[in-house]
Amino acid sequence: MQNNYHPKLGDIRVRPRRLRQYRLRRVLGIPALFSAGYGNVGSSIYYALGIVALVAMGATPIALGAAGILFIFTALTYAEGTAMLPEAGGSASFARHSFGDIGGFIAGWALMLSYIVTISISAFTIPPYLGYFWPFFKDLPVIGTATSMGIILFLMGINIVGVKETSILNVAAAVIDIATQVSLVIIGFVMLFSPVTLFHRIIENWPSVDNLVLGIAMASIAYTGIETMSQMAEETKHPEKSIPRALILMIVAVLVIFAGISLVSLSAMTPQELATDWARDPVAGIAASLPLAIVRNVLSPLIAILAGTILFIATNAGLMGISRLAFSLGSHNLAPAMFSKVHPRFKTPYISLILFSVVAIFILIPGFFTDNVFKNIGTLYAFGSLLAFIMAHASIITLRIKKPDLPRPFKLGLNIKVKSYELPLSAIIGLIATTIIWVIILISQPFSRWIGLIWMAVGLIIYFIFRKKA
């Protein structure tokens, strides 16, 4: 491949040394990739169901289904991009190759926000599920929030030791969690599912058009986390094959389980109950609604344990993702070099892990004082991730035009012929839809709008100052 890089003043003495020194180990296969991705995407059903019900009410399954279609398009976009560019960075890497350094930074900085909030919201949701055993975790915000902060600190230490050790935990927990979720869906359909009840609860609690659209936007929270696999490309064995296969496997598993749980949930409880009493632990609400005491007494504690475990994995996956993203940005001179510095013994980006763990803990501080922190964190999560998805779709389309001959081990089908270029229809639809949803959140959610825009503005200031001094 032709090298188009032209060194600038100061680059000669710095960049070659970075490339030799900062290198991650290729130790991950499809099971580790799937479990890390599922830990992030699959875990979101444990809280996204309640967040969506806050606005979509009876149309919660419809909102999740519509967002699921966009999830398929986005996952396929990442499959082509990561197979084509098997390096850490995800959408930031795609955008850098498509739109230059400034595009790569914008996508990366938006994605950093998404990862930070992923860490926070996943850790914040663990205590309510553990409240089955110890009610004070759910009833006392101070204890619950402090516990969440402790979880982040613990995982920060584990990740500094090394990714291989944590991936073993991810695989085991993800397999058990999928089995439990499938069991809950089957038991729920047998014991709770009622088409008549479901129909009435959907129709009688149908939201306004504005809330339905907002509900679909909020439902995108349930499918964020696709980036996790792309961020681990430089630690993956045969990434051009392993990552697309792991992504497709995750698409099937997530959509089937999400569809089943969302339908069972509205048979088990009203939308109002789902959005209030069980907002932070909706899957626990399904288990608590089972009519047979013997089944309920078995599944309720199991759900509490497994939800806590998979959310633990999601917190861990967020830490893995953001540290590898920061590594990529630092390595490509898009952020201060300290982001790409790895530990001399463990070969992990320990400075990034420490820095962003502290930021994630800071986001949880309002949990000591206010009740609406859960929804606010959720909308902020969507702000960053959807902006990253927009950049990913736009990058894949642009690369089809700018670099049509670039090897693509996994290439999207259903292309539109424009002159001599083949443009992927799924990426075009994904770009339009995610842009519309992001604008809706920007307009309708003041917390995520101002925090998100301030985050992006501060990032751009840092970027221009850093590049001017470089």
Structure confidence at residue 165 (pLDDT): 46
Q: What mean pLDDT comes out for the span 53-57? A: 86
Q: For position 225, what pLDDT does the model report?
A: 64
Which is more confident, 441 or 428?
428
Query: Which H or E element spans position 416?
Result: strand 415-418
Percent of the chain that is helix, strand, coil (3-state, to 5): 80, 0, 20
Least confident among 30-34, 105-109, 194-198: 30-34
pLDDT higher than threshold 80 for residue 10: no
Scored b (16 or more CB within 10 A) or e, 212-251 reads bbbbbbbbbbbbbbbbbbbbbbbbbeebbebbbbbbbbbb
pLDDT of residue 9: 42
Range with lowest mean pLDDT among 17-26, 56-65, 229-238, 337-346: 17-26
Using the predicted structure, report yes or no on whether residue 45 has a pLDDT greater than 90.
no
% of the chain residues with pLDDT over 90: 12
Burial of 293 (0-12, 13-18, 19+ CB in 10 A): exposed
In this prediction the pTM is: 0.79
Q: Regarding the domain with residue range 24-469, which homologous superfamily does it belong to in the CATH classification?
A: Amino acid/polyamine transporter I (1.20.1740.10)
Q: How confident is the model at residue 435, as a pLDDT?
A: 93
Burial class (CB in 10 A: 0-12, 13-18, 19+), 210: exposed
Which tens digits make up the pLDDT trace of 211-265? Answer: 888 888 878 777 766 766 666 666 667 766 777 777 778 778 878 888 888 888 8
Phi then psi for residue 379, to 5 deg, are: -70, -35
Q: Is the pLDDT of residue 287 over 50?
A: yes
Rounded to 5 degrees, φ, ψ at 419 are: 55, -120
**Domains of the chain by residue range:** 24-469
Question: Among 275, 305, 314, 382, which residue's Cα sits nearest to residue 124?
Answer: 314
Residues 431-448 have pLDDT tens digits of 999 898 889 888 888 888
Q: What's the chain's length in residues?
A: 470
Q: What average pLDDT does the segment 389-408 reach?
A: 90
Q: Which residue has the higher pLDDT, 205 or 410?
A: 205
Which residues share a beta bridge with 424? 415
pLDDT for 20 beyond 60: no
Give per-residue pLDDT as tens, 334-373.
777 777 777 777 677 788 888 889 989 988 988 888 777 7
Greatest mean pLDDT among 47-56, 67-76, 162-171, 447-456 lies in 447-456
pLDDT at 201 over 70: yes
Is the per-residue pLDDT at 272 higher than 80? yes
Residue 164 has pLDDT above 60, yes or no: no
| pLDDT of the residue at 21 | 44
> Positive or negative CA dihedral for 149, 155, 159, 161?
positive
Q: What does pLDDT average to over the chain?
A: 81
Per-residue pLDDT at 277 exceeds 50: yes
Instruction: Indicate the residue type of 243.
Output: I
Q: What is the pLDDT of residue 162?
A: 66
Residues 6+ apart with CB under 8 A from 263: 61, 189, 193, 198
Query: 105-139 pLDDT, tens per residue?
Result: 998 889 888 888 888 988 998 999 999 999 888 88
